[in-house]
Amino acid sequence: MRRAQQHAIWGRRGTFILAATGSAVGLGNIWKFPYITGENGGGAFVLMYLLCICLIGLPVMVAEVMLGRRGRANPIMAMGEVARESGNSRGWTLIGWCSVAAGFIILSYYSVIAGWTLEYVTTAARGGFAGFDGDAATSTFSALQGDVSKLVRWQTAFLCMTALIIMFGVTRGLETAVRILMPLLFVLLFVLLGYAAYAGDFSAGFGFLFNFRFSDLSMEGLSLALGHAFFTLSLGMGAIMAYGSYMPHKTSIMKTVLTVGCLDTLVALTAGMVIFPIVFASPGVEPGAGPSLMFISLPIVFGSMPLGTVFGTVFFLLITVAAWSSTISLLEPVVAYLSERFRFHRVSASLLVVSCAWLLGLTTVFSLNRWQDMDLLAGMTPFDFSAFITEQVLLPLGALAMAVYVGWFMNKRPLRREMKLDSGVWFGRWLRVLRYVSPALILVVFLLGILDKFT
């Protein structure tokens, strides 16, 4: 009980939705979703992705929020508290440890990539895309990859921006930030959607996203879709659990999670409907360009379009905002742990954690240039390895452990009490999916991903 009084609660209604949406909406939606959709044939991939969100993403998200709110502490101590109360082994605290560790590793490389968007904001604003052709765009992008000092400068800037918010605490820092950033993000996105509808080839883009061709279904696409469902909803990394721990008791977890899931999907699809019409409007630019879709293809297009300087700047600003609200959710669990467990001041905890993330992030920076050919494991650079170990290993395993714990081991009385605002019918359905469907699917995808990597 005493912990409940020390631990902060969101000051206003709806903050959880904004904060969790801020965490969920990020590079995953605007950069990754469009390019993996482009590489995997469009409509068929979108369909598999939506299935994964419904059958695995949302049920696991409900479980993660519930664990955080029941434990009323940072992910590590929350898991300890829930396990104690349910009479389970302390070993379940491992879920908390794994998720916080995963969040920290993701923070280290996510902030490097987020730094690129800062560089692109400044380039766009200077009118630097004007007259870009394929060669100019490619060489600008590779020049950035090779420029260690520039990469480190932007990485540092991004981590400082992140620490600045978290330092001020849950209600003054985090809550204020998401209340400003999230509406801004939606405004920017809809301005861009209007622009894409006006200046792009809207029907071609729309068709690419939603035309379903049976032949495009593939096992690899399914495995990617599943991994992305976790990544995009920020699951299995403590972020959602930490935010859930600040959630007031009188909110329905299911309704809230449904809202966040819908908003995240909406942003991903809208980003697709911004990017593909713009891509299809210029001949020679490919929808299947992969990771460079956003950093090479789009600048070419903006460089030749009417008002390209303005909208190019708006576009990269949008991504910066989205990435920023995601990195703050990656930092929060670790800082909450240090301050609740060891009584660190939030300022020193934030600075300590971002400094460590900065150091680890240097391995990502060097993977882009000097260590490009390094083979840490199965042909992976340190950056590839960080992405692999989090997205393909820690994240699915963390989510699997949460589903199994809540479905099979957690005491039903505290569980039912946390979910009391959700009808018995939906509670029963959710629990059944969480017990049988989600773990089975996660396990299959996890094994496929590993097999794919090492064969």
- Name the binder of 326 from Na ion, ligand PFF, none, CB < 5-8 A by kind: ligand PFF
User: From CA 327, how far away is CA 350, in angstroms rounded?
Assistant: 12
From the list 59, 68, 103, 173, which residue makes contact with ligand PFF (rule: CB under 6 A)? 103
Contact map string, positions 314 to 333, toward ligand PFF, x by CB under 6 A: ------------x--xx---
- Cβ-based nearer residue to Na ion, 234 or 363: 234
From the list 61, 106, 166, 317, which residue makes contact with ligand PFF (rule: CB under 6 A)? 106
Report if residue 74 touches ligand PFF, rule: CB under 6 A: no
- Name the binder of 115 from ligand PFF, Na ion, none, CB < 5-8 A by kind: none
User: From CA 282, how far away is CA 304, in angstroms rounded?
Assistant: 9
- Cβ-based nearer residue to ligand PFF, 60 or 239: 239
Listed ranges 19-27, 140-148, 291-299, 406-414: which one lies at the site for ligand PFF (CB under 6 A): 19-27
Match 């696991």 to its residue by tokens.
60
Report if residue 67 touches ligand PFF, rule: CB under 6 A: no
- Cβ-based nearer residue to ligand PFF, 313 or 390: 390
Report if residue 396 touches ligand PFF, rule: CB under 6 A: no
Match 């809809």 to its residue by tokens.
190
Report if residue 75 touches ligand PFF, rule: CB under 6 A: no
Nearest distance in Å: CB 49, Na ion: 11
SS (H, E, C) 68-126: HHHHCCCHHHHHHHHHHHCCCCHHHHHHHHHHHHHHHHHHHHHHHHHHHHHHHHHHHHC
Q: Which two tokens stand for residue 313?
A: 């700047």
Q: Which two tokens stand for residue 156?
A: 């540092």
From the list 74, 123, 234, 386, which residue makes contact with ligand PFF (rule: CB under 6 A)? 234
Give pairs for 367-372: CB < 8 Å, separation 24+: 368/112, 368/145, 368/146, 368/151, 369/145, 369/146, 369/148, 370/148
- Name the binder of 339 from Na ion, ligand PFF, none, CB < 5-8 A by kind: none
Nearest distance in Å: CB 234, ligand PFF: 4
- Which distant-in-sequence residues (6+ apart) come within 8 Å of 129 by Cβ? 123, 137, 299, 300, 302, 303, 308, 309, 312
Report if residue 294 touches ligand PFF, rule: CB under 6 A: no
Q: Can you say whether the dihedral through the CA atoms of 154, 119, 18, 181 is positive or negative? A: positive
Nearest distance in Å: CB 264, Na ion: 5
Give the bridge partners for 377, in sequence order.
Answer: 380
Cβ atoms within 10 Å, residue 7: 18
- Name the binder of 140 from Na ion, ligand PFF, none, CB < 5-8 A by kind: none
The b/e string for 293-306 (b: 16+ C-beta within 10 A; e otherwise) is bbbbbbbbbbbebe
- Cβ-based nearer residue to ligand PFF, 4 or 262: 262
Which positions touch ligand PFF (CB under 6 A)? 23-24, 26-29, 103, 106, 231-232, 234, 237, 239, 326, 329-330
